Structure 1
Amino acid sequence: MSDPMIAVVLLSLLIGLLALGVWVAVSLTLVGLAGLVLFSNAPSGLVLASTFWGHSHSWALTALPLFILMGEILLRSRMSDDMFTGLVPWLSRAPGRLLHVNVFGCAIFAAVSGSSAATAATIGRMSVPELTRRGYPENLILGTLAGSATLGLLIPPSIILIVYGVATEQSIARLFIAGVLPGIMLIVLFAGYVAVRAWMNPDLIPAIDQSFSFRQKIVASRRLIPVALLIGGVIGSIYAGLASPTDAAALGVVLATGLAFASGSFSWRLFGAAVMSATRTSCMIALILLGAAFLSVSMGFTGLPRNLAAWISDMNLSATALLMALTVFFVVLGCFLDGISVIVLTTSIIMPMVSAVGIDPLWFGIYLVIVVEMSQITPPVGFNLFVIQGLTGIDILRIAKAAFPFFLLLLLGVVLIWVFPQIVTFLPGLMSG
């Protein structure tokens, strides 16, 4: 059977299992087993056991449940309400109003966690209930959250950029700098989309009856101080070199707990409820991660990613045609693999043809991350979609439909950095100059 046919068979199996209501983690594992048994000679039981064991005690992933717990504590204290109350006066005249909390909140938290899943879970815990209570439309709440959470892959510190730098022998520091302007560009695109939707249909956005003087805005901003202290403590500890992201996540839990109790709106009963809810969410995400890891490993054994990449290489395409083909290739591959696996399994094949048509490897790294971001919000295996489904219980197709405009905005981002490569290369050029 040809490689494209293998891809179609496995993708159809995955869609079928999800349509039957099988758990996401179980669906991913079953598709991985099918790939190993049908299309490779690897010992499936041994690969399954070693993959699950190897990925179940990753120290780097410890940050994920800690950041989720931090979000649960904020949700149950007065601080989440204070954050919105403090932002209302400043955003009351902005088109889209409090929907921008999702965009900017995700951008800030992405710089803390470096994880799109943690960003979606933490910001979603705070913003979805509050925006729903205030009457904002569901599709824009879910879309802004799913799209903006992908920024965790691009805004430094980004694990996926580190993996790309190691795999292609590029400077990780220059890759981090190169990701800054594209990250800002995507924030502007997301916020601009919300503003345009609000201008086109003002009835979508709940009205705020009162107007605020500058003094009232300053007074209301005092409610933002606890959240600002929390974000400053977490981000500051990372960028000052005092803590790793995992250590900073633990610090965030301690700070969030202390500030929640100090606000007078928190109790040990609520703390217990936060721990239980964070445990459920973390277990859901961990199971999906294990299933995704096993699927990635099984795809490596089948040779599917390498063979499809070689198939593209044999076409001898121009630079523009090559990028168009690779965009489709990586988005489809993102239906099976997580972003890190995509890079590890394909860069050795992809990079020679990229260099042959004169594409800058530094620029290509940022392009690759944005395309991988697109695959985070595309069904059937858009990881951010699963996280938000776990948080809200909303059907994944509704979430995917809400996120689709942001998929198109990410695609527009790819076009913009192709037409204006200086968006990626300007800051690294200053650094080297």
Structure 2
Amino acid sequence: MDMTWISIILAVAMVLLLSLGVWVSFTLIAIASIGLILSENYQIGMLFSTGSWGAATSWSLTALPLFIWMGEILFRTRLSEDLFEGLAPWLGKVPGKLLHVNILSCGIFAAVSGSSAATAATIGRMTLPELRKQGYSDRMAIGTLAGSGTLGLLIPPSIILIVYGVAAQVSIARLFIAGALPGLLLVCLFMGFTMIWGQIHKSELPSSSDQDTSWSARLKNLRKLLPVLGLIGFVLGSIYGGITTPTEAAAIGVTGALALAAITGSLSRQSFMDSLLGAVKSACMIGFILIGAHFLTVAMGFLGIPTALAQWIASLQLSPMVLILYLTVFFVILGCFLDGISVVVLTVAVVLPMVKAAGIDLLWFGIFIVLVVEMSQITPPVGFNLFVIQSLTGKNILYVAKAALPFFLLIGLAIVLITWLPGIVTYLPTTMTKG
């Protein structure tokens, strides 16, 4: 059968299965099986078993369930309350006031969670009722949470960066280092916008705050941030300093999270089992998707679709900038219907050959794809963060999406900046590697 017709059949079958609500992992396996049958290769069982074993036993994947478990443990501690109480006295006099707590809390929690959904849910449960009680703009409170919640995808340790690193065979430690500056860039963009908004819309902010902003109160509450900041510094510092691998750092993170839970009195038999069960569910889901994606990659290789697609793209003689523009639109549209990890595993096998052919650095591309996936997390109809925040607020999904729109555009600005100045991504990994 002609390659074009095979590609059309596989694309239609994938859209049909996903629209029917079939699990992403089952869809990937089904599409790979159909592709092998169409190519008259009937060794499906053997290829699936050998491919599954190779995908599931990669040592790099060991860090994934550990970082997920660390986030699940901290999700059940007093961490969120301590973050709010520790940050609030420092932000009472800044334009935008306590709206910045959403941004900074999400940035800090992202560095110990690695999950966008966990970041938005944990911080939202704590900040939204408090901000509403104090009279802050509901729309802006929701917008800052929706936008900042996506930081869990980028700021290390990021689960999606681990998935990309395994799929693209790029060093996970270097990806973690590369995500640091873009993550800080996003935090600065979000806070800058919130300050400007606060100056323009002073009427939508409370005239005064009950929060004590004296230096004694600031220093007293700063102590509440020390445990989590210490854990972040220890985990990421050990990776950046070359002392540990990401997997070893993840094990340290779990140990530190258990210690924090014990110190705060949140560690019980029930909370321990809940965190373990939550981590097992999430890790199994992601692992199953990765197995399906690896099987699809094998099938694509037999069909020759990635090579043919890369050659076709090369024949168009697109500049790297035009290719990046096309891929941005493609990923945002795809992200409207799939979660971030599914977007990565579904597309890496097809996209990487053309990215390599265009001479684009795979390390830089990993951060680029995560930023685009961040945009898709707050894009209707199924931006995952939108659903999380809708469940917290009871607001209409379109209201939440409209509130998140400025932050969607700010992430787009960050993509423009890292494209214009790729050193934002590559400077730290290059410098630390040389060191």
Q: Partner of 1:59 in structure 2?
A: 59
Matching of residue 97 in structure 1 with residue 106 in structure 2: no
Q: 1:159 to 1:18 in 2, by over 3 A?
A: closer
1:314 Cα deviation from its structure 2 partner: 0.9
| Corresponding residue of 2:135 | none
Correspondence for 2:126: 130
Aligned partner letter, 2:104: V
Deviation at 1:311, TM superposition (A): 1.0
Identity of aligned residues (%): 35
CA distance in 1, matches of 2:384, 2:302: 26
**Relative to structure 1, is the Cα distance of residues 161 and 194 closer, same or farther in structure 2, using a 3 angstrom cutoff?**
farther
Question: Does the aligned pair in 2 maintain the 1:3–1:308 contact within 8 Å?
Answer: no
Q: What amino acid sits opposite 1:97 in the alignment? A: H
Could you tell me which residue of structure 1 aligns to residue 415 of structure 2? 414
1:100 CA drift (Å): 0.6
* One of 129, 146, 154 as aligned partner of 1:150: 154
- What residue number does 1:115 align with? none
Q: How much has 1:226 moved relative to structure 2?
A: 1.7
Q: Normalising by the residue count of structure 2, what TM-score does the alignment of the two structures yield? A: 0.72
- The answer to which of 310-319 and 253-262 deviates more is 310-319
Structure 1 residue 120 corresponds to structure 2 residue 116 = yes
Q: How far apart are 1:223 and its partner, in Å?
A: 1.1
Tell me how far 1:216 sits from its aligned partner: 0.6
Contact 1:146 1:388 in 2 (8 A): no
Q: Deviations over 1:287-346 (max 9, x none)?
A: 333333333333333332322221121123456545544555677899897658866765
Question: How many Å apart are 1:219 and its aligned residue?
Answer: 0.6
Contact 1:29 1:294 in 2 (8 A): yes
Shift of 1:2: 7.1
CA shift, 1:128, in A, is 3.9
Q: Secondary structure at the match of 2:57?
A: coil
CA distance in 2, matches of 1:421, 1:75: 34
2:260 is paired with a residue whose SS is: helix
Report the alpha carbon displacement of residue 370 of structure 1 after superposing the two structures with TM: 0.7
d(CA) in 2 for partners of 1:286, 1:318: 35
Q: Given the two structures, how large is their TM-score scaled by the length of structure 1? A: 0.72
Q: Which amino acid aligns with 1:277?
A: G
Q: Could you report, residue by residue, the CA deviation over 1:256-279 in whole angstroms, capped at 9, with x for unpaired residues?
A: 222222223432332222222222
Instruction: Provide the C-alpha distance between the structure 2 equivalents of 1:61 and 1:188, rounded to a whole number of angstroms.
Output: 31
Q: What is the Cα deviation at residue 72 of structure 1? A: 2.2
Moved more, 291-300 or 321-330: 321-330
| Deviations 1:132-180 (CA, angstroms, capped at 9, x unpaired) | 544565565344223552344999x98857987979xxxx97x988766
Query: What is the alpha-carbon distance in structure 2 between the residues aligned to residue 47 and residue 139 of structure 1?
Result: 46
Partner residue of 1:305? 306
Moved more, 229-238 or 211-220: 229-238
| Matched residue type, 1:366 | W
1:374 aligns with 2:372: yes
Question: What CA deviation, in whole Å up to 9, does each residue of 1:207-227 have, x standing for no partner?
Answer: 954342121111111111221
* 1:198 Cα offset (Å): 5.9
Q: Any conservation in 2 of the 1:70–1:122 contact (CA below 8 Å)?
A: no
- Alpha-carbon shift at residue 247 of structure 1 (Å): 1.6
Mark the CA change 1:413 to 1:211 in structure 2 (over 3 Å): closer, same or farther.
same
Q: 1:34/1:256 Cα in 2 relative to 1: closer, same or farther (>3 Å)?
A: same
Q: Distance in 2 between matches of 1:352 and 1:346?
A: 10
The residue that corresponds to 1:277 in the other structure is 278
Q: Which moved more, 1:206-215 or 1:254-263?
A: 206-215
Distance 1:338 1:320, change over 3 A: closer
Gapped runs of 5+ residues in structure 1? 111-117, 355-360
SS of equivalent residue, structure 1 residue 271: helix
Question: Could you say which residue in structure 2 is the equivalent of 1:234?
Answer: 235
Q: How far is 1:62 from its partner?
A: 2.1
Q: Secondary structure at the match of 1:223?
A: coil
In structure 2, distance between residues paired with 1:385 and 1:57: 31
SS at match of 1:21: coil
Secondary structure at the aligned position of 2:223 is classed as helix
**TM-aligned CA distance change 1:389 to 1:39, over 3 Å:** farther
8 Å contact from structure 1 (residues 97, 205) kept in 2 = no
Q: Secondary structure at the match of 1:97?
A: helix
Deviation at 1:410, TM superposition (A): 4.0
Please tell me whether the aligned partners of residues 104 and 187 of structure 2 are also in contact (alpha carbons under 8 angstroms).
no
SS in 2 for 1:98: helix
Q: In structure 2, what is the Cα distance between the partners aligned to 1:426 and 1:229?
A: 25
- 2:10·2:35 contact (CA, 8 Å) conserved in 1? yes
Distance in 2 between residues matched to 1:387 and 1:72, nearest whole Å: 17
Q: How many equivalent residue pairs?
A: 411
In structure 1, distance between residues paired with 2:331 and 2:305: 13
**For the Cα contact (< 8 Å) 1:300–1:345, is it kept in 2?**
no
Structure 2: gaps of 5 or more residues: 133-137
CA distance in 2, matches of 1:203, 1:35: 60
Amino acid at match of 2:246: P
Residue number in structure 2 paired with 1:223: 224
CA RMSD across the alignment: 4.8
For residues 6-63 of structure 1, the C-alpha deviation after alignment (integer angstroms, 9 at most, x for no partner) is 5565444434333333333323333333333335636333222222222223332222
